[in-house]
Amino acid sequence: MAKELKVADHSHPAAYWEGGNYELNLSFDTLRDRQWQHVMETIWEHPYIYGPLIERYTPGSNVPPQAAIQTPPPTATMTQHGQMKIDEAVIGCDILATRSLFECLSVLIPVGMFDNLVGSSDMGSQSAELQALNSVLYDLALRVYDVAPFKIAAIGYERGCQLPAELRSNADLCKTFVEAGNALVHDEVLRTINLTPDPLEQVRAHLRWLAPQQTIT
């Protein structure tokens, strides 16, 4: 049985928002306004996410009032705050939408929310406690793909938005991305970085699961 995440007990509220972020980052081609609306609605309709809220939620405090769902205007970024439930842990999260030189949506969960977790590049595959969190983020990514297909959805600590053009042009970055895995990748992107889609698990039309530390031949 997998270990459950436990909420930290900090004396200072700011400590919950420290330690870096465990993230889901969805990289898109250009989205229209209506597509962005569908994406944001899908995020906030997820059964384990509550919001948006007018301000950040800190464990142990009152839940802030809800705010209206917003979409990012062109050439801008926008952050909305929410609450997420992972097993019995109820934590705060941020949703960051970027609509600038690239289009990306990031779900940011501060590592400081959890007891005895330390951020590291391999924590997604090494920490048994993160299994439930990974499952929620994986499910959320697939729900978004169903309304607005993305090119890459990467899960992990401080992953950032993974851009196909950067992976194609930077061999070291591409190697790091493939070794980290824990990502849903469009067939088109896999081919441009010289990976064959067929050996990978297909989870949606033209979308494959790239597992952590997977060796592909």
**Angle, alpha carbons 147-214-131 (nearest 5°):** 60
Per-residue pLDDT of the chain (217 residues; tens, 9 = 90+): 457 889 999 999 999 999 999 999 999 999 999 999 999 999 999 999 999 999 999 999 999 999 999 999 998 999 999 999 999 999 999 999 999 888 999 999 999 999 988 888 777 655 677 999 999 999 999 999 999 999 999 999 999 999 999 999 999 999 999 999 999 999 999 999 999 999 999 999 999 999 987 444 3
Cα atoms in the 13 Å half-sphere on the side-chain side of 133: 33
State the pTM of this model: 0.94
The phi and psi torsions of 125 (rounded to 5 degrees) equal: -100, -15
